[in-house]
Structure 1
Amino acid sequence: METKTNTIIQNYFLDYSNYDELLTSKMTIKPDWEKLLSNILKVGSKKLASKQADIDWLLAENGVTYNVYNDPKGLNRPWNLNIVPFIIHQKEWDTVEKGIQQRSEVLNLLLKDIYGKRELLKNGIIPPEVIYAHRGFLRSCDQIQYKTSKQLLVHATDLARGPDGRMWVVNDRTQAPSGMGYALENRFSTSKITPELFNEINVKQPSNFFDDFNQLLQNVAPSNKENPTIVILTPGPHNETYFEHSYLSSFLGYPLVKGNDLVVRNGKLWLKSLKGLKQVDVVLRRVDDIFVDPLELRADSYLGVAGLMEVVRLQNVAIVNPIGSGILENPGLIPFMERICEYFLNEKLILPQIASWWCGQEKEKDYVLKNLPSFVVKRIDRLHRENIFFCEFLNKKELQNLKNEILANPNQFVAQEKIYFSTAPNFVKDKLEPRKIVCRTFSVAKNDGYSVMQGGLVRVAAEREELSVSNQRGGISKDFWVVSDKTQNNIQQYSWNKTISNHTTGINDVPSNTAENLFWSGRYLGRTIVVARYIRMVLNQMTQVQYNDRKSESESLKILFQSITTITSTFPGFIKDEEAMKNPLKELQSITLDENRIGSFGQSMSSFNNTYYSLRNLWSKDMWRVFYGIQKLWAEFKEIKEYTVPILTKFYDKIITRLIAFMALTEESILVKQGLLLYFIGLQLEQATLKIEKFRSLVVVNHNEELEYEILESLLNSQESLNIYRYSYKSYLSLENVVKLLILDKEYARSLTYQIYRLKKDIDQLPNNSSNQLTECQIQISRALKIIQNLNLQNLLEIDESSDMRLNLDNLLSQLSDLLHTTSLSISNTYFNHSQKQKQLVDQTISN
């Protein structure tokens, strides 16, 4: 045991300073941590490192990400979870919990007062500038009445151990608090990978909290409506916590929507579904206050819903949290919180806060300016993420500049005493090292009080000496354990009230944005697979030509090169660019890699990635593992310095396999009535369209018998249909039989006829608001089906002597291509029309 102790925590003892969660001031292990440390030592350094790698792999495979803006590593950075949890005992947690409940209630009463009677301002408890000079105060929210007993429904509290050994409040998050999804995922991952760390430790589970959270969303519906329609409003895939939005949507079972999925009509909020409009009762919003209504707030916002504020005033929708609650995140309120608590509750704050001075008061401002190097200075508005000044590290010029800023706008600054947060053990390079931590926990309104999560999210400084704890700076997270002396059920069970259901599960109720993304996900996946297979087929032909210099072979290859340009529409390509034909490998490399080239495989991959990421709340974990594998393979392939035919071929072999696996998993992850129908329609449309382009590129022009044989073999290979052809016809390749198989066969899933039949069947299942009339897309696909049903094969294969082309075949294919194109357009116009330009009646400017 001693050897293991020396190995794992020997460096931990070298630089003990301030308050550490693991160690006492006498350098002994604290009783609450003894069992966990014992379990860690039993696992051992090497196995612990292996399990840390397993956690990293699991989070990446499951697509757990935190988006970091302008990150050179890419937008979707994998979430970091350290294997060693943070521990707090139930005896201490009871006090923390009561303190959080008290603080949530104080903030709730403060929110009511700010937009209501404003007694705190009238009685001089809060200076008016703290409220009115803060961008979080929204005049549009003034005097709005709510039916719920509480206005602040969800509250996140950031906590850190202060110099007195107690948990201190660092920040409050009230607009759209993030982190509870990450906290839940941390617990799932830790439990799965390191169950031995839980041995003989009674860790409390957060299941009751999520039951209360789900029940809250149901209870706040206007007029106590049964089975309310609840949606989660997200800014979209580029938001930093989009993973969590998707995660909560999947976990709770509520649709994830964007602003243009919703519309206001007749004083109510409606979800734009495939069938039409469906009234929304509750919105769990993850969009900041000023972006939620472009008519009354930020006019340039595309994230919200025009007219939403009026629906709130009419009490026809519940917003969680209420619009305008961002004012509570104002650090300028911290110096006055003690008096606010005494005013409302006649109590002292249970949880201490960082000592703070608002510079809008003369005495406080002079004190701050006189002792500036001793403080941490913040703006009361969080305009920029990096806008915190650690004054002890500023030089004379920087200090003077900050003084000048404070003097110019004293109302905008708060100074806080410099405290050193406690450290907790982090597993780094096979050893435990101390890292500064900040804990975030959550409370939700329940009956007359607040329900607090048993645990939460712990964020850890990235480096040993790092002062700031921030995910945007590359921070790490920990599982947060509240441990008890009483035996706990370590099995996490989440089952919502079975008498309540959210009726947005049928094809009619699919949000229009989700439907559109499903449709295009099918198209982009179909395109990437078809194009990848076709280019791979040509690459294989190039390899064969190296060992066969017959003229017909090179002639067939030339035709295949030109067909790539036609099928992908990467003009001029092999059609008019002589350099491309002289150096086909360079052109194929461009078509493969250039994501900015219209029609390229690279662009299709980029569109595929973006569309599927927008739908991540719908897919299973297996699907996201395959998706991650595709991303990893694509990223590694783009880093190759020099490309050859074998390297390109090998890449396409791998990517095709993964894309096909992904396609198969898509059909397992979502029901047809939940939107998979749109995916099928998009997939069949794209495959049918590209099949038409293949035939037009390869067989419309008449070739000699030997060349035609080679081209037909290539065509069948690109469709993975050569073996089926041989089994079905057992004959020499002929154009007539190829047309029968790939165009006319009603039972072959890859034939054009089958795909058009399938499109007709699927399109007929889409909602139709007119029971007596066909939709435009039904009309167009019916025309295509009628044409292909009445074909004359011999007429199709006739060769026009003057042009040496099969003009009848070309005309047919052109006609079908046009009909499929108009079918696609009519689907978009009927079901995916989100355009609705908003304009404010009175121009106003609300800054970031």
Structure 2
Amino acid sequence: MTVATNTWFTRYFTDNTYDEMFSPDLSVKGNWKELLENFKRIGIDGLNQRQNDIDWLLEENGVTYNVYNDPNGLNRPWNLNVIPFLLHADEWQQIEKGLKQRAELLNLVLKDIYGERRLIKEGVVPHEVIYGHRGFLRQCDKIQYKLDKHLLLYAADLARGSDGRMWVVNDRSQAPSGMGYALENRSTTNRVLSDIFVDMNVRRLSEFFKEFNDLLVEASPEKIENPNIVILTPGSHNETYFEHAYLASFLGYPLVQGNDLVVREGNLYMKSLKGLKRVHVVLRRVDDIFTDPLELREDSHLGVAGLLDVVRRQNVAIVNPIGSGVLENPGLIPFMPAICRFFLNEPLMLPQIASWWCGQEKEKNYVLENLHNLVIKPIDRTNREHIHFGSLMSKAELEKLKNEIQRKPYHFVAQERISFSTAPNFTKGTFEPRNMVARTFTIAGKKGYNVMPGGLVRVAPDRNTLRVSNQRGGTSKDFWIIDPDRSEETPNFNWNRRSAISVSGLADLPSLTAENLYWAGRYVGRTLVNARFLRMVLKQTSATETILQEECSVKLNILYKAVTQMTGTYPGFMEKREDGTYAMSNPLEEIFDVILNRERVGSLAHTMSMFSSSYYSIRNLWSSDMWRVFETIQKLWRNLENEKDLTVTKLIKGLNQLITRLIAFMGLIEESIMVEQGLLLYFIGLQLEHSSLTITKCRALLVNKQAGQTEYEILEALLSSHESLNIYRYSYRSFIRVEPVINLMLMDLKYPRSLTFLLGRLQKDIARLPHSQRSDTLTQYEKNVFEAFSKLRLASSEALAMTANPESYVREDLDDLLEELSELLFQTSQSITNTYFNHTYKQSQLVDQNFSI
């Protein structure tokens, strides 16, 4: 196949020196011929459809990459192009050998830096390269490990150089990301291109992930069959949080944050609802200096105080070891050939970008003379310092950079500017070349290092962009190693050794996960109840806006004030605003603000934001159906917020759709998580929220006695907002009166929406919490709920419906009871929080240390 006969590539060619698919004579390379023949069979329309299928699958599975300060939102959809990147097994075999050598070499460097330091003592590497790098942590000096290999997980960024060979661009060693995305890319591409995938004999990834699971098990300092393994994440706002949750779900290990872990008597424990569970292995996604606020960055909230001490005692294994970030040092690159000869007595297999460390006089002078043709980097990236492209800088900028280099020469390294090879990308119905970088992954095994057969390929966002970055909108590709022999999938049931700390019960539930489940229940309950109430008020407003009767005005004033009480958006309709105006003068404006103002605490938009945050934090517990419904809720809400011509009718329609989807989502929660895996906490939170809001609603609409028709309409509105109007009519078959309404809303033992029923169920659920089962004595939260339930059972609906005297307009007994119940439920929430979710204990350093970011 030649391009002359293929109109797909008429706009493909550029002046790039190397393309992955085409030879210099414009013929298609052998690896790509079969793929293009398959694409030719599918056709452009078929490729468009398959790209749409990929986009749909990624969206359905909730694959995201978080981008800080992105105007389009934090969770940017992950992009995967339908065209994979191909390498033949013969070429990959040589790359694989080079990666194994480099991993072994960096492992020896890591041991030496924190051990004998022969590289420095014997003049192989200048000491400034090591000590001037902020990744070198003196606190990790001379730490001994039980494992032979210290570097357990290594990632290298590769790009093809002008000589046609793959060059090492970057080394990633402390918490390399991308394995989960590579696995998701493969899963998605395999589904969409299954017919091509099998025919081309693409190497599988299952065996690598089995070996990775074995690595985590073998890393345990105590050689037990089922060590307790956790994945440490910075949290849901981290850029690769999806991957953390994905790997936790795929491997079956708990996803924890720093506050989930605690050090006691030289051991690391995970805080669960039942107490402390010993942890043997931590797969960390937190950078080195944030892992231990006691010895490293004291302002870190991501790590565990005392973790380094546990490592020194060899009571926990960290993958990768704390301090391994020193290897992510471009200042080492010029010395790697000499290091390889020193340790291995052999040449470096994989070529590197030509680099000059400015701490040497000759090299510094060369850099200063050729600054306009070079790329200048700091030797570490821990403070997010800028990379300088000399060819893009002005004379003044170059002069400023020269001064910086002369002032701190050891801090800079220069590299030649190379043109990355290009790979084909399918974009808008045509093929375009994009600069590409491939991230490969290497793990320690019993007989050396094992390399993932493929990896994560990233390409530039457009054909004219040189830098390849996810933060800058890059696209990913699946990485295919084409094997002449058919490769077989390794069944997952061969993973015969698992971690005993899988989230199988309350005893194994991390405390932050339990707290997020609890608040997830509260926020979804709050969102649903308030959405229903606001919808009812909007309907009442819309139905009466053309009627001028005094009764309608009184009714609406009561409902508007209830909106403020239900949402807590004071002063709202209750009092004069700070600017001296009243919300009552323009009620629709205030209601729209209560619904849509995300910055207003208590608004529906703010509650939606909290609901989304709490659920995204437990992403690893979700089923795919849950994510799909969750995404439809998010899209619906975004459309509602972005609607420029929003009317009352449109808003009611939007609230109808929101309520329906929330109910579907709540149903899926009960199907997706077992009670003992944390659903119990969700139920408790949901029941507490429903109970509290039922009390608030009744205080707003039942305590004050109204006259004639107004009271009837208020009672009808109350039942309608509670989705109880039809139940009332069916049960009582009478004119709506206060006493039966109180009985149905508050006291009916058999009605699931009544307060008594909710409190009865809450009693049963909190009795299943760990502290409740430790003795025959009631806990404080059990006492509170028991007292609230008892007060309701002892009350009389007839007495509660009465006023103190005929002239009174306040049902004082009802008000007093509801106030007492509200306080008891508040105390219940506080007691549960203090018992199970108290993360306030903080240790601090004896000596202040500053680590720049």
Q: Same fold (TM over 0.5)?
A: yes
Most deviating of 393-402 and 520-529: 393-402
Instruction: Give me the TM-score of the superposition, normalised by structure 2.
Output: 0.97
Are 1:207 and 1:494, in contact at CA under 8 Å, matched by a contact in 2? Answer: no
CA–CA distance in structure 1, aligned partners of residues 391 and 502 of structure 2? 57
- 1:502 offset after TM fit, Å? 2.8
- Cα deviation, 1:125-165, whole Å, max 9, x if unaligned, reads 11111001110110000000000111000001111111111
Q: CA–CA distance in 2 between the matches of 1:265 and 1:278?
A: 11
Q: Is the 8 A contact 2:202 2:480 kept in 1?
A: yes
Q: Which residue of the partner structure matches residue 374 of structure 2?
A: 375
Q: 1:498 to 1:301 in 2, by over 3 A?
A: closer
In the alignment, what sits opposite 1:781? 785
- Report if the CA contact (8 A) 1:459-1:478 is conserved: yes
Match of 1:664 in 2: 667
Name the counterpart of 1:820.
825
- Among 824, 833, 837, the residue aligned to 2:842: 837
Measured in 1, the distance between the counterparts of 2:493 and 2:629 equals: 26
**Aligned positions of 1:152-167 closer than 5 A:** 152-167=151-166
> Does residue 502 of structure 1 match 2:501?
yes
Maintained 8 Å contact 2:423/2:434? yes
Shift in Å, 1:665: 1.3
Structure 1 residue 640: Cα displacement: 2.0
Give the superposition deviation at 1:498: 4.9
1:480 match: 479
User: What pairs up with 1:44-83 in 2 under 5 angstroms?
Assistant: 44-83=43-82
Equivalence map 1:332-481=2 (5 Å): 332-383=331-382, 385=384, 387-481=386-480
Instruction: Measure the CA separation in 1 of the matches of 2:493 and 2:635.
Output: 33
Structure 2 Cα separation of the partners of residues 418 and 592 of structure 1: 53
Inter-partner Cα distance in structure 2 for 1:402 and 1:60 = 44
Deviations 1:3-31 (A, max 9, x none): 9964422211x425311010011100011
Alignment of 1:659-808 (within 5 A): 659-768=662-771, 770-801=774-805, 802-808=807-813
Give the letter aligned to residue 151 of structure 1. Answer: H
Give the total of aligned pairs. Answer: 847
What amino acid sits opposite 2:286 in the alignment?
V
Cα offset, 1:501, TM superposition: 3.4
Q: Is the CA contact (8 Å cut-off) linking 1:229 and 1:504 kept in structure 2?
A: no
Give 3-state SS (helix, strand or coil) of 2:413's partner: strand
Cα deviation, residue 230, structure 1: 0.9
Q: Distance in 1 between matches of 2:77 and 2:758?
A: 39
Partner of 2:239: 240
For 2:652 and 2:349, the matched residues in 1 are separated by 66
Structure 2: how far apart are the matches of 1:499 and 1:374? 53
SS in 1 for 2:848: coil
SS in 1 for 2:582: helix
The equivalent residue for 2:110 is: 111
Distance 1:777 1:495, change over 3 A: farther
Structure 2 unmatched runs, 5+: none
Unaligned runs of 5+ in 1: none
Q: Which moved more, 1:49-58 or 1:321-330?
A: 49-58
Q: Find the counterpart in structure 2 of residue 10 from structure 1.
A: 10
Deviation string 1:304-353 (CA, Å, 9 cap, x unpaired) is 11111110000011100000000000110011111111121112111111
The alpha carbon displacement at 1:491 in A equals 8.6
Q: Write the letter of the residue equivalent to 1:779.
A: K
Bigger drift between 36-45 and 448-457 goes to 36-45
Q: Is 1:129 aligned with 2:128? A: yes
Contact 1:205 1:492 in 2 (8 A): no
Say if 2:135 and 2:382, in contact at 8 Å, map to a contact too.
no
Structure 1 residues 533, 30: closer, same or farther in 2, change over 3 A? same
CA distance in 2, matches of 1:205, 1:503: 26
1:291 and 1:298 in contact (8 A); partners too: yes
- Correspondent of 1:594 among 597, 609, 633: 597
Distance 1:201 1:492, change over 3 A: farther
TM-score normalized by the length of structure 1: 0.97
Contact kept? 2:740, 2:797, Cα under 8 Å: no
2:627 to 621, 624, 627: 624
Q: Which moved further from structure 2: 169-178 or 575-584?
A: 575-584
Cα deviation 1:774-803 (Å, max 9, x = unaligned) = 221111111111112212222111222242
- The residue identity in structure 2 corresponding to 1:787 is K
Return the letter of the residue paired with 2:786: S
Q: Identify which of 595, 614, 630 aligns with 1:611.
A: 614
Q: Cα offset for 1:581?
A: 1.4
Residue 852 of structure 2 corresponds to 847
Aligned to 2:199, what secondary structure does the other structure show? coil
Contact 1:130 1:411 survives alignment (8 Å):
yes
Q: Distance in 2 between matches of 1:492 and 1:19?
A: 39
Q: CA shift at 1:497, angstroms?
A: 1.7
CA contact (8 A) 2:532 2:722 kept: yes
Q: Match for residue 582 of structure 2?
A: 579
Change (3 A) 1:701 1:10: same
Q: Is the 8 A contact 1:40 1:197 kept in 2?
A: no
Q: Which amino acid aligns with 2:830?
A: L
The alpha-carbon distance between structure 1 residues 672 and 495, as it changes in their structure 2 partners (threshold 3 A), is farther
Residues 1:654 and 2:657 are matched in the alignment: yes
Q: Name the SS for the 1:231 alignment partner.
A: strand
C-alpha contact (below 8 Å) 2:252/2:502 kept by paired residues: no
SS at match of 1:203: coil
Supply the distance in 2 between the matched residues of 1:596 and 1:464 (Cα, whole angstroms). Answer: 40
Whether the aligned pair in 2 keeps the contact of 1:296 and 1:309 (CA below 8 Å) is: yes
SS of equivalent to 1:574: coil
* More off after superposition, 604-613 vs 307-316: 604-613
Amino acid in the other structure paired with 1:17? N
Separation in structure 1 between the aligned mates of residue 172 and residue 190 of structure 2, nearest angstrom: 28
Q: How far apart, CA to CA, are the structure 1 residues paired with 2:599 and 2:128?
A: 50
8 Å contact from structure 2 (residues 699, 815) kept in 1: yes
Contact 2:114–2:140 (Cα < 8 Å) also in 1: yes
How much does 1:278 deviate?
1.2
Deviation at 1:197, TM superposition (A): 3.7
Give yes or no for contact 1:180–1:442 (8 Å, CA) kept in 2.
yes
Separation of aligned partners in 1, 2:48 and 2:565: 52
Structure 1 stretch 628-637 or stretch 690-699: which is displaced more? 628-637
Relative to structure 1, is the Cα distance of residues 23 and 2 closer, same or farther in structure 2, using a 3 angstrom cutoff? closer
**What is the CA-CA distance between 1:35 and the residue it aligns to?**
0.9
Counterpart mapping for 1:32-51 below 5 A: 32-51=31-50
Q: Within 2, Cα distance between the matches of 1:496 and 1:553?
A: 68
Question: What is the CA-CA distance between 1:504 and the residue it aligns to?
Answer: 4.1
**For residues 817 and 413 of structure 1, do their structure 2 counterparts lie closer, same or farther at Cα, with a shift above 3 Å needed?**
same
Q: State the alpha-carbon separation in 2 of the partners of residues 831 and 432 from structure 1.
A: 56
Aligned-pair distance for 1:297? 0.7
Give the distance between the partners of 1:4 and 1:250, measured in 2 at CA: 48
Secondary structure of the residue aligned to 1:169 is: strand
**Aligned 8 A contact 2:460 2:467 in 1:** yes
2:265 maps to which residue? 266
CA, structure 1 residues 426+501, in 2 after alignment: closer, same or farther (shift >3 Å)? same
- One-letter code aligned to 2:825: L
Is contact 1:5-1:41 (8 Å) kept? no
